[in-house]
Amino acid sequence: MSNTGRMSILVALSMLAAVSPLCAGNLDSPKDVAFKADVDGTEQFYMEMLPDGFDQKITYDLIIGLHGHGSDRKQFAVDKRSECASFRDFAAKHGMIAVTPDYRAKTSWMGPEAEADTVQIIGDLKKKYKINRVFIVGASMGGTSVLTFAALHPELVDGVTSMNGHANHVEYKQFQDAIAESFGGSKDKIPEEYKKRSAEFHANKMTMPIAFTVSDNDAVVPPASTLRLAKDLQKLKCEILVIDRPKGGHGTSYEDAIEAMEFMLSASPKTPAKRKGKSDPSESEGDASKVKTEKPEAKVEPDEIDAAGKSEL
């Protein structure tokens, strides 16, 4: 795929026609891994799933799944909900190492400690295994957190899928007590920290392919800031996919999640250095942006994370 960038927007009144779950390949059962956090010396955890026939001598892509508010590392590792099942099936199909961190569960929101843990996990895994590309995927709080992390550490990320997340902590009004605890204070006391962790303000750093799934009907994590970020990235000629389900609510279907992750993978150069060597996406020549509109007839199932922030595991 060329470096000129592309933006594809799927706007639908309902979900794409049914797609059978992916079945090629398998992942090993989730393995709990404990580590001592460099940032504060506490014991932290993530779950690891290796692909079928794993060989220590072979190079693999790494995919990281970030859970929603009120959950923990087990959500993307074992939950049957569409966002989580699709993550595992996608990793299995493409023979990836799949990792699901606590990142300071259960109310992370990618605060400083969660950020440091995620950086450390990536570094540790690169020492432990032969890692090629690194992809990060998340839903709800996790969908927000993958955008935050990609904006803060673009050199570590080769592709992003954000499902029902937001991109602006300055304007976001939900879960403020949890976010304040994670960030180290309220937005009134440390406004710069909230801006720092808002991807919308750092679009020029986000050179990797990004897929978004959103819904105008999402009252838990409204999509306005995410859609603004997508437009900014389009202007920078980045590789972007937006799947917008107006009546979908706070959730992403299995089919849309798979489509988003497949885009993320296909748009990422197979050699990470090719992307990382490009300092600014605006340096691309030309503009290959596209707008794709489809209106199939089916219904998106809503997410199980409710307005109270609880997640069923």
C-alpha atoms less than 13 angstroms from C-alpha of 190 in its C-beta half-sphere: 14
Q: Is residue 38 part of a domain?
A: yes
Q: Is residue 310 part of a domain?
A: no
Q: Is residue 261 part of a domain?
A: yes
pLDDT score recorded for residue 300: 35
Sequence-distant (6+) residues with CB within 8 A of 290 are 6, 7, 8
Question: What is the residue-averaged pLDDT of the chain?
Answer: 84
pLDDT digits (tens, 9 = 90+) for 166-181: 999 999 999 999 999 9
Report yes or no: 90 and 261 within 8 Å, Cβ to Cβ.
yes
Q: Is residue 244 part of a domain?
A: yes
Is the pLDDT score of 308 beyond 90?
Answer: no
Q: What angle do CA 8, 303, 252 make, to 5 degrees?
A: 15
Fill in the DSSP letter of residue 99: E
pLDDT digits (tens, 9 = 90+) for 251-262: 999 999 999 999
Helices then strands, counting H and E runs in the chain, come out as 9, 9
Strand partners, 46: 33, 101
Q: Is residue 145 part of a domain?
A: yes
Q: Is residue 300 part of a domain?
A: no
Is the pLDDT score of 286 beyond 70?
Answer: no
Coil vs helix vs strand at 47 = strand
Q: Is residue 16 part of a domain?
A: yes
Q: pTM for this structure?
A: 0.84
What is the C-alpha separation between 58 and 51, in angstroms, rounded?
11
Range of the domain at 238: 6-283
Q: Is residue 212 part of a domain?
A: yes
Report yes or no: 159 and 215 within 8 Å, Cβ to Cβ.
no
pLDDT score recorded for residue 271: 80
pLDDT digits (tens, 9 = 90+) for 44-86: 999 999 999 999 999 999 999 999 999 999 999 999 999 999 9
CATH of the domain at 266: 3.40.50.1820
Is the pLDDT score of 305 beyond 50?
Answer: no
Coil vs helix vs strand at 175 = coil
Number of domains in the chain: 1
Q: What is the mean pLDDT of residues 236-246?
A: 94
What is the C-alpha separation between 5 and 27, in angstroms, rounded?
32
